[in-house]
Amino acid sequence: MRRSLIIVLALGLVLILALPRLPVDRDYLLRRTLVREVGPVFLDGLRIHGDDPYLLVLSLRGPGADPLRGELTAWLGERVRLATDAEGALPVHATLAWELDGRRLRVQGFLRSLTLETTIDEEARLLGWESLLPPLLAILLAFAFRRTLLCLFAGIWLGGTLLAGGNPLRGLAWVAWDGVVRHALMDQFRIEILLFVFGLVGAVGIMSRMGGVAGLLRLVEGAARGLRSTQLFAFLMGLIIFFDDYANTILVGTTMRPLTDRWRVSRERLAYIVDSTAAPVAGISVLSTWVAYEISLYADQLPAAGIGQDAYVLFIRTVPYRFYSLFTLALVLLGALTGRAFGPMLRADRRAHAGQVAPDAGGRRRAAERLTDEALRRTERKPGVPARWWNAAIPLLLIIAATLALMLHFGNVEGRPLSGLLDADYLRRTVLSNTESARALAWAAGLGFACALLLARAQRLLSWREGLAAGVGSFRAMLETVGILILAWVMGHVCDLLGTSHALIALASGRLEHAALAFPVILFLTSAAVSFATGSSWSTMAILLPNIVVLATRLGEGTHLGGEGLLLLSIGAVLEGSIFGDHCSPISDTTVLSSVASSCPHMAHVRTQIPLAMTALGVALVAGYLPTGLGLPPWPGLLGGALLLWLLLRLIGRRPDLA
């Protein structure tokens, strides 16, 4: 531990010393600083003086004025048009003059028409390499200490200190008030996200306590009549429990273990199936505790990137680009169908076929079991309660139906009747672009929670007190997760105020411009490395995702993908690389939970899973991100990748019952 800490700190020192010496695009930094500092003054002045028609007359004087003239003229002209909401020829004269003293920018000027005059006199510090320090510190601490809350808080505190002029105490006060309270806890969108998370987790807690989830698992238990069908059934159960990775891991592992033991499925194979249908399924599910977190990380950056689409709709559009998760699920399915395996998993399957289902237990399993106590309590069925599948199916179907109905309702800004919503063009361009997905999710989760509670009480399975206790108990299990969620929002806010994404663009200018199509591959491998080393996908997403939206959009301009196309591919790359670590890192909580729920020694699970996870990772690169970056649609890559996985199993895989 001490050696790794020294290495990480040394690497951080080298990076901090190297950053100020890297050449940057100063014109771009100057342009972004002018927009950030001057834009609000323009808009405030216009907002006061009504909606006179305008004709913008712009005069610029300062270093680099000529290269900036075109973009600033277009930017200010668009803001004036939006602020006045009018057309015509009444002139609006805008004069800007600036001088640059080292990193200090002084801007003076005025905005004048027949009915208004606004004077501008602003000072700002040119955005620079310092804005990269908060996420960089968070990454380094994550490698060194592997504690998500600690690394996020340290990065946020450093960012708050930079925003407060270098005063750590004022920076801490900024984090507490402006960051956590005002930005995270007093924002309607984020409150709705938290309500959705608590509502969904509470509903799952009640459904589990009254036997609904156990009933879902028993519904098709009779279909498992052999080695192949048992593995397929375990895979199917992993898909059904799509709403939470913890619930998925514990429920599928503990429920399937007696069945897989009966049919001589190795414990390593069961742990692999459980782990591969936990984070990968929850991460791409359109309704899960993960989706709320993922969309909240990039929603704030979409307007700055010029993307007017709803963040939830954008998330759904990234699903075809979620290559790692999709190929991981395909590999599990193909392994069950063909009965083939390779590497350490083949040796484990041969041992199970010979009659020894479980490997020799190590000392790590007992220590890891302590991590699952809270998760087991969340999924424990009340003794004596019947396992009725509809007690889980009805609340879940209600949540899904209510989400869809409310999204249509909130997005139907023209008030069309139901038949009018069948117009695909109106649905795509108007409804899905104007809907309020977070609000819909929050209401739907609340309805699901109430439905689960009423079902439990109506059948006298739980008392009011027991039902509420099951829901609130699930809330307690999510407290650390919610803490990570709130700090992730604050980290994104800090990076936005410091201009971290713009500093990355300035550093990348001239380096990634000609390699924009390799950008998703770089993101995928970077996030995979960080998440594997830290064992946390959520902290990796929180650090990387808010800073790539504007960068990816700008790099995509001028390529055949376009800014929005590269953005979709890049968001998918960060999410998928992050899920890789959560899926197979030895220190990931879901990896540990999968081992314990399957009664498999932890390192035996890790050793057998990593070669399969690396196979899915390689196919995601070869068949997914590389060809898609070159301009191919994702569907041929998905089909080609699935075929490649099948060929690999046929060529190098072996059945455990054959020599």
Structure tokens, 611: 């070669």
- How far is Cα 97 from Cα 596, in angstroms, rounded to an integer? 66
> What gap in Å lies between CA 117 and CA 513, rounded to an integer?
41
Pairing relationship of beta strands 117-125 and 55-61 according to DSSP bridges: unpaired
Most confident of 70-79, 374-383, 400-409, 470-479: 400-409
For the chain, what's the residue count? 659
Q: Which residue, 269, 277, 393, is CA-closest to 335?
A: 269
Q: Mean pLDDT across the chain, nearest whole number?
A: 77
> Helix (H) and strand (E) counts for the chain?
33, 4
What's the one-letter identity of residue 453?
L
More confident residue, 520 or 66: 520
% of the chain with per-residue pLDDT over 90: 13
The H-or-E segment that residue 489 falls in is: helix 479-498
For the residues of 328-391, what is the DSSP string, one character each? HHHHHHHHHHH--B-THHHHHHHHHHTT--SPPP-THHHHHHGGGHHHHHHTPPPTT----THH
Question: Which helix (H) or strand (E) is 468 found in, with range?
Answer: helix 464-477
The residue ranking higher by pLDDT, 125 or 442, is 442
> Going from the N-terminus, what domains does the chain have, and what CATH number goes with each?
26-126 (3.30.160)
**Mean pLDDT along residues 526-531:** 82
pLDDT category at 518 given cuts 50, 70, 90 is confident
C-alpha 373/C-alpha 268 separation (Å) is: 21
- Cα torsion for 350, 356, 361, 365, to the nearest 10°? 80
Listed range (65-74, 231-240, 353-362, 432-441) with the worst mean pLDDT: 65-74
Q: 10 Å Cβ neighbour count for 85?
A: 9
- Give pairs for 16-22: CB < 8 Å, separation 24+: 16/133, 16/136, 19/129, 19/132, 20/128, 20/129, 22/129, 22/507
Q: Which amino acid is at 60?
A: L
Q: Are 273 and 235 in contact (CB under 8 A)?
A: yes
CB 344 within 8 A of CB 608: yes
Q: What is the per-residue pLDDT across 225-277, written as a single tens digit (0 to 9) for each?
A: 778 888 888 898 888 777 667 667 766 776 677 778 878 889 899 999 989 98
What is the per-residue pLDDT for 329? 94
Q: At 352, list the tokens.
A: 């199970």
* This prediction's pTM: 0.69
First-to-last alpha carbon distance for the chain, in angstroms, is 43
What is the C-alpha separation between 438 and 299, in angstroms, rounded?
A: 11
Other C-beta atoms lying within 10 Å of the C-beta of residue 320: 18
Helix (H, G, I), strand (E, B) or coil at 560: coil
Q: Which amino acid is at 620?
A: A
pLDDT band at 88 (very low <50, low <70, confident <90, very high): very low
Closest listed residue to residue 349, CA positions, set 424, 400, 298, 273: 273
CA dihedral 466, 471, 477, 483 (to 10 degrees): -140
Task: Kindly provide the b/e burial profile for residues 449-465, where b requires at least 16 CB atoms within 10 angstroms of the residue's own CB.
Answer: bbbbbebbbeeebbeee
Q: Looking at residue 127, what DSSP letter applies?
A: P
Note whether 420 and 426 are within 8 A (CB): yes
87 — pLDDT class (breaks 50, 70, 90): very low
Whether 581 contacts 254, CB under 8 Å: no
Residues sharing a CB contact under 8 Å with residue 623, sequence separation 6 or more, in sequence order: 323, 327, 637, 638, 640, 641, 644
3-state secondary structure at position 306: coil
How much helix, strand and coil, in percent to the nearest 5, is found in the chain?
75, 5, 20
Q: What is the pLDDT of residue 52?
A: 44
Question: Collapsing DSSP states into helix, strand and coil, what is residue 617?
Answer: helix
The mean per-residue pLDDT over the stretch 642-653 comes to 93
Per-residue pLDDT of 555-594, as tens digits, reads 887 777 888 888 899 999 999 998 887 788 776 777 877 8
Strands 91-101 and 55-61: what pairing? Answer: parallel
Q: Is the pLDDT of residue 49 over 50?
A: no
